Amino acid sequence: MTHHTLPVTDRTVHWGYFSKVVTPALTVRSGDTATIETLTHHAADDYERMIRGDAAAERIYHWTQEEKTMARRGAGAMRPIGGGEGLGVHLLTGPVAVEGAEPGDVLEVRILDVAPRPSRNPLFAGRTFGSNAAASWGYHYTDLIEEPKPREVITIYELDTAGEPFASAAYSYVWTPQTDPHGVVHATIDYPGVVVDHSKIVKRENVLAGIRVPARLHFGTMGLAPAEADFVSSVPPGHTGGNIDDWRIGKGNRMYYPVAVPGAFFSVGDPHAAQGDSELAGTAIETSLTGDFQFILHKQRDLAGTTLEGLAHPMLETPGQWSVYGFTFANYLAELGPNAQTEVGNHASIDRAMRDAFRKMRRFLMTVHKPSEDEAISLMSVAADFGITQVVDGNWGVHGTIGKDIFAARGRG
């Protein structure tokens, strides 16, 4: 077993997409561990607190009329201005290639530890900040009751890790039109990495005064490269993982992903300090984190008779539970055809996500624990919990969770 380190640099991150054609930033063997840095794609909401003095972040976010370090930001077509068209937003570290991984295998990713990335600005040294955007893609956006309507609001949080970690709001502001270095005016938050000019916003102080939000350090986006396209938007989650946005995907837990391309091509990002189920306003507290991971490759020939038999979707294992993830479309790339990445958001549905989660839980129970269908349905009704994972990522999500202790008498948790 070898331990690797993968820092964030302009050569180890890709912005807004999963890809099977990007040169791997790291190659590991099954059993290897790696310390992987991740950077939030919302750092530009407060450049002074989350970018200034951090050489890697400054380089990645660098964008002038003459130079844009990360030219492609999204899975869309490349153009002189706005490369990638903003079709995908998350800064992802990787890909990590796994030796011997082939389609049909399952990659287990163990999250061994998660730690915040403090500010490198001497004015805020040692303090950690994050941004929450109540954005135009949020569930609330067309249902506001106060003026002005509509509006997008950024709330900057500070993370306190002394003792039991929590986050508290530092200030907020209403998004005002921002002009990028190429002269494009962004009336809304519509393209990743636009640095907010704080001379053009009005800070609201003393917001959420006295409120302490329990920290849940986790990675909103982890997964493998799909096979269906060379560049796949990081926003909608799918059959190989991605932007699942479940706060439970944190320290001490493990994710399982079906391998779709040789090498698996794992990427991780969208780090969060805290998030509630649904991620209702559009984002979590978007911060920067470093994770310790272990990669375990399960070959297709060895899956029969295990909890991974027949697994064709992401699955979470915690010490006490199993969770499956249902989406509006189990594999939107295959189901919606050539225009899938632009069309998926037009069909978002909790009903369909719930149906998918039900089917996946039924398959898991019947395949792994061997009840009849009638027994599985009864068990789901009395012992499984189904919750709304997120309603903001185009391909909406429902998680289905069942406790391991239910099966203790059978000798398989």
Over the stretch 288-344, which tens digit does the pLDDT of each residue have?
999 999 999 999 999 999 999 999 999 999 999 999 999 999 999 999 999 999 999
Instruction: Name the one residue in this structure whose structure tokens are 């050489």.
Output: 55
pLDDT 10s digit of each residue in the chain, 413 long? 999 999 999 999 999 999 999 999 999 999 999 999 999 999 999 999 999 999 999 999 999 999 999 999 999 887 655 566 778 999 999 999 999 999 999 999 999 999 999 999 999 998 999 999 999 999 999 999 999 999 999 999 999 998 899 999 999 999 999 999 999 999 999 999 999 999 999 999 999 999 999 999 999 999 999 999 999 999 999 999 999 999 999 999 999 999 999 999 999 999 999 999 999 999 999 999 999 999 999 999 999 999 999 999 999 999 999 999 999 999 999 999 999 999 999 999 999 999 999 999 999 999 999 999 999 999 999 999 999 999 999 999 999 999 999 998 876 55
List Cβ neighbours of 361 (8 Å cut-off, separation of 6 or more). Answer: 324, 380, 384, 400, 402
**328: buried, middle or exposed (CB in 10 Å: 19+, 13-18, 0-12)?**
buried
CB 14 within 8 A of CB 38: no
Predicted local distance difference test score (pLDDT) of residue 412? 55
List Cβ neighbours of 225 (8 Å cut-off, separation of 6 or more). Answer: 18, 19, 20, 95, 232, 240, 260, 261, 264, 265, 267
List Cβ neighbours of 83 (8 Å cut-off, separation of 6 or more). Answer: 68, 71, 72, 73, 74
Instruction: Name the one residue in this structure whose structure tokens are 């039991």.
Output: 164
Q: What is the chain's percent helix, strand, coil content, to nearest 5?
A: 20, 35, 50
Q: What is the DSSP letter of 388?
A: E
First and final C-alpha spacing in the chain: 27
Q: What is the DSSP letter of 269?
A: E
Mean pLDDT of all residues belonging to the chain: 96
Q: How many CB atoms lie within 10 A of CB 187?
A: 11
CA proximity to 77, closest of 243, 231, 236, 184 = 231
- CA separation for the pair 315, 298 (Å, rounded): 14
- CA separation for the pair 341, 51 (Å, rounded): 30
Cα distances from 188 to residues 140, 151, 153, 185, 281, in angstroms, run 15, 9, 10, 9, 14
